[in-house]
Amino acid sequence: MSEAIEGERTFVDKFPEEARLVRAAMLGSFLALTLGAIFGIIQTLHRTDVFRGLISSAEYYTSLTAHGVFLALSFTTFFLVGLFTWAVVRSLDRPLLNIKITWTWYGLMAAGMTMTGISILAGFTDAIDMSADVLFTFYAPLQAHPLFYAGLAVFIVGSWIAGADWFRTWLAWKREHPDERIPLQTFMVLTTMAMWYIASSAVAASVLIFLLPWSLGFIDQVNPTLTRTLFWFFGHPVVYFWLMPAYLLWYTVLPKIAGGRLFSDPLARVVFVLFLLLSTPVGIHHQYLDPGIAEGFKFISMTNTMFLLLPSLLTAFTVVASVEYGARQRGGTGLLGWLTELPWRKPEFTGMMLAGLMFAAGGFSGMVNAGMNINYMIHNTIWVPGHFHLTVGTAVALTFMAATYWIWPQISNKPIYSRSIGLFQVVLWFIGMALMSNAMHAQGILGVPRRTAEPEYAGFDYPAGFGGFEELNIQIAIGGTLLFLSTVLFIGNLVLTMGNPKVSGLAETLPPALSGPDDAPQVLDNLRLWVGIALVLVVLAYALPLGAIISRGGLLGPGVGTYPVWLIPAVDALANVPTLLVSAAGDAAAVLAEVGR
């Protein structure tokens, strides 16, 4: 085969088995997106009192749980594993070591999310004695059916095996290329998974040691503050677990679509190292109003959180510089005139750019969330979901949908059914989210609570008028409806794409960065070093707070002690170990002395 023909081969031509897995993962992701969108529009119309004919106010919380779990966990993670498989195989230019292992972790993740999903959806019927109305933040004292926790455990284990699969593939490549730098996309995948292993260890411990045994009746109670803290140990870095795949696309694919190249490979590596180091030791900033955590620990967490602005600002600079370079390569001139030369008619480009713009707005509202004093004003108000609808709901979701318009032809050899529909869809999402999120932020400042089907307190009316509660409700309802319609367009466009015949000539390559990996210090590729520092930072941030929580409230709650009663004999035995060892050593010394005589 000639070099010219070889250069035209798509990902599916070169790696058909891996492409099949990528398609399966993305389709699983889009199934979760569909379910999440359905529950999203139902709860939006119910909460705003526009239409309440589908669910009761009690079932609102089942719908809210389904919306959060299907979108924040299932949609994001399934897309991630598909994207990361594509990125590792493409950048290393080699297949995965054992495709059977690959399908095993995919099967585990699918089975786990199915178990969790069944436990949630069963809450809509009284025919099944099962429910899991614990919301996305599934810490105590709310309790779900054991199937919910068991499914989450299986899902997380599947994601761990996925990471191991990619690490094994990289190590095999490294043995064949000992002197080469880690390819950028693979580097991004490995650092993201290293962060995931650290962050998800806490929620896995919470589920397996506390929540699952508690739901099964093996233990009578748990320490709510402890399970809450373990959740937020995971709950904030999981935001970056969602975002880092979007960053991978912004850094490596968006410049190509813009007609240019990545501005700086070294800066991209620095950003991902910073996310690995800084994402986890900040979760306590979600617990500013928790009475069981000392104010000093909260202040430290606030300070750590502010450092996360650095990789985001570096990303803004690098991505915009890369896009500007592409525009100027296309003939763009002037201070801002180059913007007109960008490929705005391409849905993959416009969607990612609008997602980045929304992420900037989310960063500003996130600084409010992170500040201890001003956070008190918006804590537990609808401002908070307004914020994360800008981050995961747009920066992540819109990037994933936009990127699909570019990646899907590479993994299927089928062109997108309609790029015009795709362009309209991404713009519609942006408009819908601008309306809904803006209104959520404004209502949050008014003190409107989150996580409730009835946002008005008894005997209290919000002030009427333009920009008041009722008018903002209309904005939320309109925005939510536009988001749902955008989702329908996306799924419909993809389904029609799958019906297209296969064609040739769809191959795309990613050009090297202007400043390549050779310009980056070798230490950036030392993953062991960065993982070690990340673990030290986590210990420094959490050892004392967790110790204080357990000391004050017990491992399983007040009155139980710092460990379960059934462990007392084992603890007492361990306490006697030093005495027994000293006694045994004395006896041994006496015997040796006797023998020496």
Positions marked active-site? 236, 240, 387-389, 450-451
Position 134, amino acid: V
Q: Which residues contact 149 (CB under 8 A, 6 or more apart)?
A: 138, 207, 211, 212, 215
SS (HEC) of 492-518: HHHHHHHCCCCCCCCCCCCCCCCECHH
Residue with tokens 């609102």: 60
Give the contacts of 334 (CB within 8 A, at least 6 positions apart).
Answer: none
How far apart (Å, rounded) are the C-alpha atoms in residues 101 and 108?
11
Q: At what angle do helices 397-412 and 76-92 cross, to 10 degrees?
A: 50
CA 203 to chain centre: 14
Query: CB-based contacts of 41: which residues, under 8 Å, 6+ apart?
Result: 480, 481, 483, 484
Nearest residue to 352 via CA among 480, 237, 247: 247
Q: Which amino acid is at 482?
A: L
**DSSP letter (8 states) at residue 391:** I
> What span, in angstroms and rounded, lies between the C-alpha atoms of 195 and 198?
5
Tokens describing residue 9: 């081969």
* Angle 32-38-41 from CA coordinates, rounded to 5°: 135
3-state secondary structure of 264: strand
- What is the three-state SS of 24-68? HHHHHHHHHHHHHHHHHHHHHHHHCCCCCCCCCCCCHHHHHHHHH
